[in-house]
Amino acid sequence: MTSDSNDLSEQILDQLGTHTSHRAFEPVELDDQLVRRAVTAAQTASTSSHIQAYSMLRIRDRETREKLAELTGGQAQVAKAGAFFVICGEVRRHHLAAQRAGQPMARNLESFLVATIDASLFAEKLAIAFEALGQGICYIGGLRSKIADVDALLELPQHVFPLFGLCVGEPLDLPESDPRKPVPKPRLPVEAVLFDERYPTDEAMLTLMDRHDVEMAEHYNQRGRHGHNWTGGLVRRQAKAMRADLAAYYLAKGARFE
Ligand SMILES: Cc1cc2nc3c(=O)[nH]c(=O)nc-3n(C[C@H](O)[C@H](O)[C@H](O)COP(=O)(O)O)c2cc1C
């Protein structure tokens, strides 16, 4: 490896390490050329058998953005970010190709998963591309909270599966002292994610999770949220099933789960 490529690798890894979700943006519309650049870069993401089973919708209309902010649970950034996108798994093109060729198109859980995986790989590469271009991003899973209403609002076609939203824009310039200023959030220790040959025992896993709890409690303390840690948040969130209407919704859009 040359020293130039070494430097580049370090720069890329450093850039990845700066990621943090942004929820407050300057009121500046995201430039179309910048969007095209990021999307073109993100389209280099690996895709199952090259089927490219994803697409995205940019929503510019102010009124629609306000409605989406409401439907995603009152998330102001959905209306206020420089751009808002809906990221979708999409097999519509595949259906059209089959239809035109007079061929059947099989659908099952595998085909739904493939579209979901393709769209997610594309989306994260897109997020990284936007960040490399100096933008802040925030995924919006809240898009699925009232998915049927979102679908009706955006008049989404069959075989398009909206998965999450993506806010992109110039981050609001908050002073370092402002607790709302986003800072990178600690992640699990690598030992809790990367295993050799076999998974560890439950006890060993819990010990690793305890380590993360300590780090996260410190992170939350510094941000004025006392008494919080990682597993506490998990346990609270998991107590009740969320978004129970999703299977019916995706079935109605043409997905199959057999
Ligand atoms: C699929 C997905 C959906 C998310 N949905 C939301 C959301 O609806 N609202 C929000 O504020 N953040 C959302 N996030 C951001 C996460 O909360 C955030 O990535 C996580 O807390 C880690 O923080 P970081 O991104 O700042 O490192 C989502 C992230 C992902 C990957």
Tell the residue number behind the tokens 């519509």, with chain if given: 92
Q: Ligand 1 site: residues with CB under 6 angstroms?
A: 19-21, 23, 75, 138-142, 164, 185
Check residue 258 and give its pLDDT: 96
Neighbours of 211 (CB within 10 A): 14
pTM above 0.95, yes or no: yes
User: Separation of 119 CA from ligand 1 center, angstroms?
Assistant: 16
pLDDT tens-place string over residues 134-189: 999 999 999 999 999 999 999 999 999 999 999 999 999 998 888 778 999 999 99
Pairing label, strands 54-59, 136-140: unpaired
Distance (Å, whole) CA 113 – CA 35: 27
Across the chain, mean pLDDT equals 96
pLDDT higher at 176 or 7: 7
Q: Residue 27 pLDDT > 90, yes or no?
A: yes
Q: Give alpha helix (H) positions in 18-108.
A: 32-42, 62-71, 76-80, 92-101
Intervals of CATH 3.40.109.10 along the chain: 18-183
User: Separation of 84 CA from ligand 1 center, angstroms?
Assistant: 15
3-class SS of residue 149: helix
pLDDT tens-place string over residues 46-95: 999 999 999 999 999 999 999 999 999 999 999 999 999 999 999 999 99
Check residue 92 and give its pLDDT: 98
Q: Tell me: domain 18-183, CATH 3.20.20.80, correct?
A: no
